[in-house]
Amino acid sequence: MKFTQINFSSRKNDSIKLFKPFFILLLIIFSNLVAIDLNLPPSAAHNATNGLSLILQNPSSGSLNPAICNPGIETSVTCLFGLKELPYYNFHSAFKLRNFGFLLGNSYLDHKLYNENIVNLAVNYNLQKFSFGLNFRHLYNRIENYQKDSSIIFDAGLKWENNKIISGFSVRNFLQSSFLNEQLPVFYLWETCYNISSKSKISIGLEKQADFDFSFKIAGSYNFFRMLTLLTSYQYEPDRIGIGVVFNLKKIKVTYSIRTQQYLDLTHYISVGYAFRK
């Protein structure tokens, strides 16, 4: 007589894998920590720098601080926390016209039970060492068999640049827009970047969300040679580490990065960008 051995450990692991994306969706829907308008990084570079945008400016940087305009196009894709059930797509295009800068972008978080789509339209003005910008965001959110709604959000930013130092400050949702009668989070981000040498930079920042502690961030970049740049960062509250590499192929830039999360798997991110001009 033969006995069939049942691998309960394998079944348990499979159940955990199936439950994980469902658990994250519950957080997205019901938690204020991971609420509507998730403030996710718009590119692989920002994934590597924990949201700091001055240390490596690219077309999507204007979505975090509308005072930044780096002409070009950029497309990015990731699966949040390594889950193929939670793909996140980004596309941004930026260009300059005299002293004005413009950004058009789209971010899309896709799941069969949850969708979030954000359209960005930003404009900024450069006055010598200062830049000022405003960003208009249209947020559309749909939860299957539950609700769907949209909201209009405004962000503001400024940037100051002098020799080796660049400093910026931005406020996301400064008009305190609401979604389904609930106020969306307001984020404040201050960042200063210092050019240590022609090959290396360091950037520090403080991010604040209402009812939460300050989040401290620090990032560094180093150009090993013209074609390769290394990005590293650390964030405190919550603790996260980001690492990325940038391959510079003339006007084409390919970025790959990973970022940790305290309780979930790594988020792998890839971006491809093209610069309109140097």
Q: Which helix (H) or strand (E) holds 47?
A: helix 44-48
Sketch out the chain's domains with CATH numbers.
40-275 (2.40.160.40)
Are 252 and 273 spatial neighbours (Cβ–Cβ below 8 Å)?
Answer: yes
3-class DSSP assignment, residue 199: coil
Q: What CA–CA distance (Å, rounded) separates 244 from 18? A: 29
Q: List residues bridging with 271 in a β-sheet.
A: 76, 255
| Whole-number Å distance between alpha carbons of 40 and 43 | 9
d(CA 161, CA 155): 20
The residue among 215, 209, 241, 244 whose CA lies nearest residue 58 is 244
Q: Give the DSSP per-residue string, 193-212.
A: EEE-SSSEEEEEEEEEETTS
Question: In this predicted structure, what is the pLDDT of residue 10?
Answer: 44
Q: Token match 């006007």: residue?
A: 251
The pTM is what? 0.86
The pLDDT value recorded for residue 266 is 94
Q: Parallel, antiparallel, or unpaired for β 240-249 and 200-209?
A: unpaired
Residue 68 CA to residue 53 CA, distance in Å, equals: 9
* Look-up of token digits 């305290």: 262
First to last CA, the chain: 76
Predicted local distance difference test score (pLDDT) of residue 22: 53
Q: What pLDDT is stored for residue 156 in this prediction?
A: 98
Per-residue pLDDT of the chain (278 residues; tens, 9 = 90+): 333 443 434 444 444 444 555 555 555 544 433 345 567 899 999 999 999 999 999 999 999 999 999 999 999 999 998 988 889 999 999 999 999 999 999 999 988 888 899 999 999 999 989 999 999 999 998 888 778 889 999 999 999 999 899 999 999 999 999 887 888 889 999 999 999 998 999 999 999 987 788 999 999 999 988 899 999 999 998 899 999 999 999 899 999 999 998 888 999 999 999 999 75
